[in-house]
Amino acid sequence: MITKVFFGVPVYTMDKQRTVQQAVVSINGMIEFVGNVDDALKMYPEAERVQFDTGCILPGFIDAHINIKRFSLLFKGLDLSQALNKAEIVGMLEEHLPEKKEGEWVVAGGCSPALLDGLTAGDIDPVSTTIPVVIYSGDLNFVLANSRALAEAGIDENRKDPLRGKIETDSNNKPTGILRDRAIELVRKRIPEESTKKVDIVLEKGIDRIITYGITTFCDCSQDALGLTLKSISSLQRINRLRAKTVLLFGDTEAQSLEKQGIPSLFGNNFTKLGGLKIVLDGTLATLTGYMSEPYQSSESHGILLMEESEVLALLKRAYSNNIWASIQAVGDKANNIALNCFEKLKEQKGVPTLLKRIDFAHTLQDDDIERFAALGVIAIANPIRIPFIREKALMALGSNARLLFRYGSLLKSGAILGMCSDAPFASVDPFHAIYCAVERKDYSDGPEVRFYPKEGMSIYDAAYAYTMGNAKALGMDDEIGSIEVGKSADLIHISKDMLRNPPESLRETEVLHTVIDGNVVWMKA
């Protein structure tokens, strides 16, 4: 038996009683004891002692909605997170280029958004005219592509903005190289597909990166989750190199295949499980395609509805009848209303099992729909890191209806269960950043006067709970992970500051020092 005692700092268990303890004991990866440190050391005298001297211990973070393959591709080539200016970016690219052959792409990630947003293709073109270069911003909201990458993607002054995307241009209508939101896909889809072996390596790098943020379990919402992603995840697990736990959502075609084989949600093992059916109902707020009950300001558009209510209900009925739960991605208030209608009608269907129900993002909610989440047992998956990025556009596009956005305080007050996610690579994967945005309703650098409807904020504890136990419930795994309790997996993190006793501003400097999965320290800060 492998027995370990973790102690030395406060242990926030995230259990129902909000207990704070002194020590955690794991045996063979499972939590055996949570309580007083003297009792732990007395009861388990032969245990390996893991003592921490600063910060606190939390359950491992869980990301309820991430696109792991796309996120991982950002770091397959070059990490520019340490670059401080244009010269350093160019220098790091020049050092990396000799490894590439003509026609291969350089894909870099992690660059400071403020730094990258001030550059153009012309700034990095001198590095190479034959190798396409794409640099993702650290917040993953936009990329900078060199002229060769733009040409490969067919982007010139005649190329119109794609749906839900923006191609930045100069005064002569020439693309600058900056591509925002869905315009990123124009270059991403031109990047050559990796071989299976290379995808394994790419995913391993991406998963290793999210571990540094204290994420011990993630829910992958990629379109091909049961294709190449599952093969790579399984391959990594076979050779004991899958270091974070994975739940995979899937599309309708994949769901039908599972239904025929009688395979239900949460089929799998400790490290890889099948999740539920993913349904995308509308667009985004950033592109004004979220489906709204009223048209956007200065527009006749209500956004885009991708499926009719009857279609969604039919999918839900079939999936739930085959013991597969579903997650509906809804942004606009009318889309959320439709999603709730479908779950309500599903509840009325005879012979349909009662399973997990969730709405991802739930960005815009009418007053009457707030109470329905708790009443119907629907879990709302919040994406608070979007608040500072959407704030100004929302005020202009929605007017007084902007108050309907990001209604976390109201949801919690109603008794609804709230989870949280990053939606990486379309936003930062950092849980501390998301928690700050949820609490303060603004970004780190914003002044207090720009808090976005602060009454809809929440406490740091509630936000941390959403990122741990709330997300465990959103995956149907709350009896396995999400809190530090006896009988659960010993998935926990040691962080540099006691975030639950410090002001929200301290979250900016808070970092993960140790990530522990199944009782094993899988990452520690050097």
For the segment 444-473, what is each residue's pLDDT rounded down to a tens digit?
A: 989 999 999 999 999 999 999 999 999 999
pLDDT single digits (tens) 10-67? 999 999 999 999 999 999 999 999 999 999 999 999 999 999 999 999 999 999 999 9
Stronger pLDDT, 197 or 18, i.e. the higher one: 18
Q: Which amino acid is at 343?
A: F
Q: Which domains does the chain have, with CATH numbers?
A: 1-60+482-526 (2.30.40.10), 77-188 (3.10.310.70), 196-481 (3.20.20.140)
Which pLDDT band, with edges at 50, 70 and 90, does 325 fall under? very high
Q: What is the structure's pLDDT at 112?
A: 78
Q: What is the structure's pLDDT at 104?
A: 84
What average pLDDT does the segment 395-418 reach? 97
pLDDT single digits (tens) 485-504? 999 999 999 999 999 999 99
On the question of pLDDT at 225 being above 60, the answer is yes
Q: What is the structure's pLDDT at 96?
A: 85
Measured at the CA of 500, the angle between CA 495 and CA 503, to 5 degrees, comes to 105
Q: What is the structure's pLDDT at 224?
A: 64
CA distance linking residue 420 with residue 358, whole number of Å: 12
pLDDT single digits (tens) 80-103? 877 888 999 999 999 888 877 777
Write a three-state SS string for 448-480.
HHHCCCHHHCCCHHHHHHHHHHHHHHHCCCCCC
What average pLDDT does the segment 350-378 reach? 97
Residue for token pair 């990452």:
523
Which pLDDT band, with edges at 50, 70 and 90, does 78 fall under? confident
* 489 contacts 69 by C-beta, under 8 angstroms: no
Q: What is the structure's pLDDT at 97?
A: 82
* 142 contacts 425 by C-beta, under 8 angstroms: no
Stronger pLDDT, 82 or 214, i.e. the higher one: 214
Q: In what order do the strands lie in the sheet with 175-181?
A: 78-79, 106-111, 133-137, 142-145, 175-181, 165-169
Stronger pLDDT, 336 or 128, i.e. the higher one: 336
Q: What is the dihedral of CA 387, 388, 393, 396, to 10 degrees?
A: 90
Cis peptide before 113 (omega within 30 of 0): no
What average pLDDT does the segment 226-244 reach? 88
Which pLDDT band, with edges at 50, 70 and 90, does 139 fall under? low
Residue 412 CA: distances (Å) to CA of 121, 215, 350, 419, 462: 45, 23, 30, 11, 9
Q: What is the structure's pLDDT at 410?
A: 98
On the question of pLDDT at 426 being above 80, the answer is no
Residues in the chain: 526
Q: What is the structure's pLDDT at 201?
A: 84
Q: What is the structure's pLDDT at 193?
A: 67
Query: If you write DSSP's letter for every residue of 174-187 in order, what string do you get?
Result: -EEEEEEETTHHHH
* 390 contacts 360 by C-beta, under 8 angstroms: no
Mean pLDDT of the chain: 93
CA distance linking residue 50 with residue 47, whole number of Å: 9
Tell me which residue of 255, 248, 212 sits closest to 233, measured CA to CA: 248
Identify the weakest region by mean pLDDT among 97-111, 132-146, 473-487: 97-111
pLDDT single digits (tens) 236-288? 999 999 999 999 999 999 999 999 999 999 999 999 999 999 999 999 887 78
Percent of the chain, pLDDT > 90?
A: 77
pTM: 0.87
